[in-house]
Structure 1
Amino acid sequence: MSYPNKVAIVTGAASGIGLGITEHLLSNGAKVVVGDLNTVQGTKVVDELKKKYGDDKVAFCAVNVTDWASVVALFAFCYTTFGNRIDYVFANAGIAQMNEMRSSNPSHFATTQHPSLDTLGDRPPSLAVVRVNLDGVLYTLHAALAYFRAQDKDADGWRGKFVATGSNALKEGNILTEDARNRSFYPFPNDPLYAASKQGVLGTCRAVGPKVIDEGITVNCFGPSVVATGLAPPEFIAMLEREHRLTPMKTVTDGVDVFINRKSKVTGQIIENCGLKNVFRSIPSYMDAAARANMNEFHPSDQIDAALSVEGASLDVVA
């Protein structure tokens, strides 16, 4: 794929998947604003990327995706830095309840043991994971739509393309096995807040994607299995690598290309990335004619079906 002079914002881009997407875009001709809460790491990464790709290709902007004013400032910075246009927005910033990725921490949201119900009101759960992973995506999407709608379509008919980082919330197992292929997205008891937030990302993309396609805008997400990032403990990453179950960054960026290439009309979809394989996860069919008719009251079902078509996208669709 080639994205000459396209302009992109990537949040959470100072490390992990966000950095991988950033390098992929830069290596294919795009200009990128690296958005991240970690100013020290972000500045360091951008300095290194400038040496490789050029000072005029990449810039850093500090952003807190849970703060609306900060998100607005990020978009304004990108717009003025790279020529009053934004073609791609990647809402990638995310966190997890780290202690609970491979252990049973008693302070975890769903397993906390309270010494007394009398003082329960003093111990609210922290919903920071939801604030970053879901609210941050919603803020970023809201700003992206505003900017996309304010600019003309490009030569291929697009105002802009939005991609969020979801998850398959897969703890163990391999999507290449027949058992995994026959399941929907996976329960993730280790971190229910992470699972809830990523399900929210998927629901948002499936709802907004069909709504905006006629405006020349697409909205999608991808759901990676375990990639070597800071969200998973190093020993866990090492184990998966030894067992050849770690998903390489190239699998993720191959999925990204399906969404943002100039010919792609894909919207409202999620691509699962696991190992060397990318697949679309199918959207559930209507339970019966009555269920379809009821949903049709809110938005024409035929229009949704047409918008969500992935014909010609060259990936398998897995239920």
Structure 2
Amino acid sequence: MKIEGSVAIITGAASGMGKTLAEKLVSLGGKVLIADRDVSQGSALAEALNKEIGSNVAVFHETDVTKWKTLEAAFEKAKDAFGKINIVVNNAGITESSSWFNDNDAGEESCEYMTLNINLVAVAKGTRLALKYFAQNPQVGEGVVISTSSLYGLYNSGIVPLYAAAKAGVVSLVRSHSLARKETNTRHVALCPWFIDTPLLEGTFREALTASSIPVIPQEPVIDAFIQAIEDDTLNGAVLTVFPGGTEIIRENIYSGNADQLKMVRAMETSIIEHQYALAKEARKL
């Protein structure tokens, strides 16, 4: 996909990596909707980008990614402002604020496990809205959904188990949705970065990394991986790891011992997907 002339929705784009990605896409000729809860920083970023480019290339929408209606409104605002959507980046995320011995942390809002709600459930909601839009609007071309996972999406964690479970779920979600690329007019990519130099690391995590001599990578290689995920149309169901040693593409693992069984499952799923698609078209939902 060409970034020039494209329109992206980025959640969690008022600061950190989302902000840097928004700036990069605009610099390459794209347009962005900044979806974030931070009205002050989000509005300021949109204003700064528009002033820098000299035209309307960015809009801000106050968005709580855990609320379907505000996410849905972000999609509507992007369509109203720019006429279309091409890219959806599920980027908003938080760290774990409670543990097994402290489940009454105020940050979890009465033990609702916001870590799971923001890092996984919100990604599922943003992806569903994207699928619906791209499937119903083939004239805009194939869309791409990029979802931010983590190194903990690939490896277990004893210190942030809810975060790791959510990020592993993001990888599974991306790989699963990628199987209906033809029917949904959408391809999917997951990014699994190492520890990145963003505000999310502040506090105990950054101190622990420093004490353990664990490196932190800058945002630039992660942003480059986002650009690669957008521009390379061969990437679908792929996971891009961005570690200190560089970026690697991981495809779905198929072990020789279960390859035949997996083929049977895939064949069954393909027939169901095609049937569901045919029914949706008949009901004029697509």
> TM exceeds 0.5?
yes
Higher relative helix content: 2
Question: 1:17, CA displacement in angstroms?
Answer: 1.2
| Seq. identity, % | 26
SS of equivalent residue, structure 1 residue 231 = helix
Hey, what's the Cα distance between the residues in 1 that align with 2:152 and 2:245? Answer: 17
Hey, what's the Cα distance between the residues in 2 that align with 1:168 and 1:6? Answer: 29
Hey, what's the Cα distance between the residues in 2 that align with 1:300 and 1:265? Answer: 20
Question: 1:96, CA displacement in angstroms?
Answer: 1.1
Q: Match of 2:160?
A: 191
Hey, what's the Cα distance between the residues in 2 that align with 1:136 and 1:168? Answer: 19
Question: 1:244, CA displacement in angstroms?
Answer: 8.2
Matched pairs, number: 266
| Worse overlay, 226-235 or 160-169 | 226-235
TM-score, with structure 1 as normaliser: 0.75
Residue identity in the other structure for 1:250: E
Hey, what's the Cα distance between the residues in 2 that align with 1:211 and 1:7? Answer: 22
* Offset from partner CA, 1:30-82 (integer Å, 9 cap, x none): 00010101112211222222222234111101111111111110000000001
Question: 1:204, CA displacement in angstroms?
Answer: 0.5
Hey, what's the Cα distance between the residues in 2 that align with 1:125 and 1:34? Answer: 29
Question: 1:28, CA displacement in angstroms?
Answer: 0.4
Q: 2:242 aligns with which of 273, 282, 294?
A: 273
Q: 2:226 aligns with which of 234, 256, 260?
A: 256
Q: Match of 1:174?
A: none
Q: Which runs of 5+ in 2 are unaligned?
A: 274-286
Q: Match of 1:229?
A: 198
Question: 1:241, CA displacement in angstroms?
Answer: 8.1
Conserved 8 A contact 1:10-1:32 = yes
Question: 1:169, CA displacement in angstroms?
Answer: 2.0
SS of equivalent residue, structure 2 residue 76 = helix
Residue identity in the other structure for 1:131: N
Matches within 5 A, 1:155-194: 158-169=141-152, 185-194=154-163
SS of equivalent residue, structure 2 residue 196 = coil
Q: Match of 1:136?
A: 122
Matches within 5 A, 1:1-319: 3-83=3-83, 85-98=84-97, 108-112=98-102, 125-154=111-140, 158-169=141-152, 185-213=154-182, 215-233=184-202, 237=206, 245-261=215-231, 263-275=232-244, 277-286=246-255, 287-289=257-259, 291-296=261-266, 298-300=268-270
Question: 1:112, CA displacement in angstroms?
Answer: 4.2
Hey, what's the Cα distance between the residues in 1 that align with 2:110 and 2:35? Answer: 30
SS of equivalent residue, structure 1 residue 298 = helix
Cα 1:293–1:270 shift into 2, 3 Å: closer
SS of equivalent residue, structure 2 residue 237 = coil
Cα 1:45–1:289 shift into 2, 3 Å: closer
Cα 1:3–1:289 shift into 2, 3 Å: closer
Question: 1:237, CA displacement in angstroms?
Answer: 4.3
SS of equivalent residue, structure 2 residue 4 = coil
Hey, what's the Cα distance between the residues in 2 that align with 1:213 and 1:278? Answer: 27
SS of equivalent residue, structure 2 residue 138 = coil
Residue identity in the other structure for 1:110: W
SS of equivalent residue, structure 1 residue 42 = helix
| Worse overlay, 125-134 or 86-95 | 125-134
Cα 1:32–1:293 shift into 2, 3 Å: closer
How well do the aligned residues superpose, as a CA RMSD in angstroms?
Answer: 2.8
Hey, what's the Cα distance between the residues in 2 that align with 1:149 and 1:205? Answer: 16
SS of equivalent residue, structure 1 residue 10 = strand
TM-score, with structure 2 as normaliser: 0.83
Conserved 8 A contact 2:135-2:183 = no
Residue identity in the other structure for 1:5: G
Residue identity in the other structure for 1:159: E
